[in-house]
Amino acid sequence: MVKLAPSILAANFARLEDHAREAVTAGAEWLHIDVMDGHFVPNISIGPLIVEALRPLKKETGILLDVHLMIEQPERYIADFVKAGADIVTVHVETCPHLHRTISHIKELGAKAGVTLNPSTPLGTLEEILADADLALIMSVNPGFGGQKYIPSSTAKIRRLRQMLDAIASKAFLEVDGGVYAGNAAEIVHAGADVLVAGSAIFGGTKSVAENISALRSASR
């Protein structure tokens, strides 16, 4: 079954734990945490303190904390995020000249290691590292903000990544992030995704988090 990873970037930070709990209770398997530094991406968001704040919920429910680092020199902060409770740490190829070293560092700290790339970055940049990755993430919007529109060419990129993973018999998760909603979930899953990140489609709008999760779940079957 496809896993859902609600992006807390779209949650209400004033009642973050409650909002996140609604998503977990409604069946979300992971929580996606978007870390932005105002350098690699124009926006500034969350640091290790917020990951730590979600730790009691993780302890109680067994939810995985999926941390997406959109920051320059991510190696400076990986240990802090793992210590704060990150189960998966994903870094961008654009920020890691020594990607193999960075991935190894994440794993040595006991977390799963993810790799990702911007929409305009060719998939070939992942080729040599895929066998070492626990997760490969296709960004289907330019990173930096929630609530953007899915870039249509991402579907072909997901399909090609699925082929690359299958060709090396990789068990890595193929995650997709940006503009995912009930209207395109089927297309994304059929292309080969097994984890869907969704922020505004889960925490935004007028319907409840549970209704949004159930709509996304049925659309991804």
Residue ranges binding Zn ion (CB under 5 A): 34, 68, 177
Choosing from 37, 66, 134, 177, which is the catalytic residue?
177
**Residue 34 bears catalytic tag:** yes
**Residue 166 bears catalytic tag:** no
Choosing from 34, 37, 66, 134, which is the catalytic residue?
34
Given Zn ion, ligand DX5, none, residue 178, with its beta carbon under 5 to 8 Å by kind, binds: ligand DX5
Closest separation between CB of residue 68 and Zn ion, Å?
Answer: 4
Which structure tokens are listed for 31?
């929580």
Where does the chain show beta strands of DSSP type E? 3-6, 30-36, 64-70, 88-92, 112-117, 135-139, 173-177, 195-198
DSSP secondary structure letters along 44-90 = B---HHHHHHTHHHHHHH--EEEEEEESSSGGGTHHHHHHHT-SEEE
Residue 194 to residue 76: CA distance in whole angstroms: 29
Binding interface with ligand DX5 (CB under 6 A): 7, 9-10, 32, 34, 68, 141, 143-148, 177-180, 197-201
Given Zn ion, ligand DX5, none, residue 8, with its beta carbon under 5 to 8 Å by kind, binds: none
User: Between 48 and 146, whose beta carbon lies closer to ligand DX5?
Assistant: 146
Given ligand DX5, Zn ion, none, residue 201, with its beta carbon under 5 to 8 Å by kind, binds: ligand DX5
Given Zn ion, ligand DX5, none, residue 216, with its beta carbon under 5 to 8 Å by kind, binds: none
Closest separation between CB of residue 86 and Zn ion, Å?
Answer: 13
User: Between 145 and 215, whose beta carbon lies closer to Zn ion?
Assistant: 145
Closest separation between CB of residue 169 and Zn ion, Å?
Answer: 27
Sign of torsion over alpha carbons 179, 44, 71, 75: negative
Which residue has the CB atom at the shortest distance from ligand DX5? 199
Which structure tokens are listed for 92?
């961008």
Are residues 132 and 110 in contact, defined by beta-carbon separation less than 8 angstroms?
A: no
Residue 126 to residue 149: CA distance in whole angstroms: 24
What's CA 150's distance to the chain center, in Å?
A: 15
Catalytic residue positions?
Answer: 34, 177
